[in-house]
Amino acid sequence: MYEDFQEYFTNRLIKLRMSKGVSARSMSLDMGLSKNYIAQVENKRNLPSMLIFSYICEYFKITPKEFFDDEIESPAIYNDLLNNLKGLNEEQIININNIVKNILRK
């Protein structure tokens, strides 16, 4: 079970990091960690503490729930889109929704 969790965790971390377009080294340094820390996590030599996990979520601008919700491939972009929709009027939201529906049909 531990190995399954570690596999899931590392795969999700890699996906999120790659979608952000940063290297493991850059992410480590951006977070104030040793330059190899994220690489060690991704290579299954280390699992982050809860504190570091919270920093990882903060780095991606997501919640822990969103980290584990792999139905949303890019949660930070998804959240940004939702925030942007709040500034639109009803007609604009309907138009955006129709565009999304058309995209999903293809």
Q: Summarize pLDDT for 47-100 with one digit per residue, the tens.
A: 999 999 999 999 999 999 999 998 888 888 888 999 999 999 999 999 999 999
Listed by start position, the domains of the chain span: 2-105
Q: Summarize pLDDT for 21-55 with one digit per residue, the tens.
A: 999 999 999 999 999 999 999 999 999 999 999 99
Cβ-count burial of 57 within 10 angstroms (0-12 exposed, 13-18 middle, 19+ buried)? middle
Q: What is the pTM of this model?
A: 0.78
Place of tokens 């822990």: 64
What pLDDT was estimated at residue 71? 87
How would you label 14-23 residue by residue, b for 16+ Cβ within 10 Å and e otherwise? eebbeeeebe
DSSP reduced 3-state for 26: helix
79 CA to centre of own chain? 10
What pLDDT was estimated at residue 42? 97
What pLDDT was estimated at residue 2? 65
CATH number for 2-105: choose from 3.40.50.12640, 1.10.260.40, 3.30.450.20, 2.170.190.11: 1.10.260.40
